[in-house]
Structure 1
Amino acid sequence: MARQNTVFKEAYNRCLAELSTNDNLPSEPELGERLGISRTTVRAILSRMHEARLINWDKRVKTVLRGPEVQDFFPDEETNSLNDVIEKSFMKRILTGDAEPGTQINEAELAREIGTGTTSVREFLIRFSRFGLIEKRPNSHWILKGFTIDFALELTEVREMFELRSAASFAHLSDDHPAWADLDEIEAEHHVLLADIDARYKDFSALDEKFHLLVHRASGNRFVVDFYDVIAFIFHYHYQWNKAFARARNERAMIEHLDYIAALRSRDPDRIEAACRLHLNSARQTLLQSVPG
């Protein structure tokens, strides 16, 4: 229900934009296709808009009464992008229960579970399939191929090449580049998390993703940044595959991050490379240990 509520809020905000450019809203199927959501969610959105006197909904006629105002939107912190919702739901499905190589994934079932349209789910699965973890079969079915040692090794090899290059580029950013302020903020978040490590060690994966994405962006290379989606997708969730010693592992990674951050600030190429290699080696070992079986 929480996932469906998030889908509803995110889609509702996007649907509000339709009110500014139309006198009448399109049909329910067309609106669902346009927003990538189910008919049930479309009706829930229309019902709320009718109650808020944004539209007059009379069977097939949906007349726009007024444009949206700031208070009509759900706050950003209550919404996630539709792709994020599908990603989290998909990963939860393959990381829990008995999802082993050969497990079937049905587009319609996944869409129904999330509360979104099958088109959005299909587009996500097509993008995800290029990683080699799932494979398309006839009749809207997909097969989980499994996360293997070979896959983990290939992923870490590419990650290390890209991140070493990106970290070296970070040292050459101008003094007034906004990345330095972002680095300050991320460092402060590390200290806050470390101060409450026993209760909050599970929050580390999100901070880990935020830090490494900042480093990768310093490369200025769109392909490096785009590939980080793959890296984040796997490395973010591998913490859930192997929960053994998670607290100690996350605490060590945070300390390595702080050394890494100090190295970036030094602008010393040798120091940056050493800190980067040390941390990436730890991440490689953790990922390999998380491979099922």
Structure 2
Amino acid sequence: MPTSEKHAAGLKDAVQDAIRDRVFSGQLPPGTRLVERQLAQELDVSRVPVREALRALEREGLVEERPTRGMVVRQLSPDDLETLYQVRSALEEILCRRLVGTLDEQGLDRLQAVVDRTAAAIDAGDSEAAVEANASFHEALVDEAGSRVLASVIEPVAGQIKWLLSQHTDAGTMNAEHQLIVAALRERDADRAIEACRQHLVSSRAEASRMPS
């Protein structure tokens, strides 16, 4: 690929990451209109990578195009939430069963490091870092599973799931639930790990239900 095309692809990815981060942080809440010109000025880029980034985020399910307003941050409907949690629950059961059989001590230590990093952020009073670290725990589970098939299945909904997890503002409770998952995996107890994930799902759904519509 020519250097100019690599640069264009890298710029689009950077813009996509920047907009996604603003959605996850709440800086761009659901329903916010995404104006290409304004975003281009804020990110100091042309409108072309912004347009391409918004289309990519639309495929992720984080933004949508409305006839009268253009691109806006998507507001998930109750049915969207229910389906997303059903998908997440099914995938996490598969993940847990795979991890119990394949996760080594180094992998367990990497998962524990995410939990410890969250705890350190909580102790430091850095709520933004704690929420971000908590959300990265589920990405770490996928990484440690080491399955291209699972990763490819999860990838289309990963952005929406991470966004939902970022709404869970009680970082301490969330991190304690992650610790239970790690402990069950360390004991090679698939059923307990799945149950810990299920309870974590119940907690996350309760938080999502409090989100403004």
Q: Same fold (TM over 0.5)?
A: yes
| Alignment TM-score, normalising by the size of structure 2 | 0.79
Gaps of 5+ in 2: none
1:232 aligns with 2:158: no
Deviation of 1:193 after TM superposition, in Å, equals 3.8
Distance 1:205 1:270, change over 3 A: same
SS of the equivalent of 1:146 reads coil
**Partner amino acid, structure 1, of 2:19:** I
1:36 aligns with 2:11: yes
| Fraction of identical pairs, as percent | 22
How is 1:186-265 mapped onto 2 (pairs within 5 angstroms)?
186-194=114-122, 196=123, 199-217=125-143, 218=145, 220=147, 221-226=150-155, 227-236=157-166, 238-239=167-168, 246=169, 249-265=170-186
How is 1:1-293 mapped onto 2 (pairs within 5 angstroms)?
33=8, 36=11, 81-89=14-22, 92=26, 94-95=28-29, 100=31, 104-130=33-59, 131=61, 133-135=63-65, 137=67, 141-144=70-73, 146-175=75-104, 178-194=106-122, 196=123, 199-217=125-143, 218=145, 220=147, 221-226=150-155, 227-236=157-166, 238-239=167-168, 246=169, 249-290=170-211, 292-293=212-213
Deviation of 1:266 after TM superposition, in Å, equals 0.7
| Alignment TM-score, normalising by the size of structure 1 | 0.59
- Residues 111 and 141, structure 2, Cα contact 8 Å, conserved in 1: no
Deviation of 1:157 after TM superposition, in Å, equals 1.6
RMSD, aligned CA: 3.2
Gaps of 5+ in 1: 1-17, 19-25, 38-79, 240-245
- Residues 256 and 275, structure 1, Cα contact 8 Å, conserved in 2: yes
Deviation of 1:105 after TM superposition, in Å, equals 2.6
Q: How many residue pairs are counted as aligned between the two chains? A: 205
Decide which structure has the larger Cα Rg and report it: 1
Distance in 1 between residues matched to 2:191 and 2:9, nearest whole Å? 51
Match of 1:43 in 2: none
Q: Which has the higher contact order (CA 8 A, sep 6+)?
A: 2
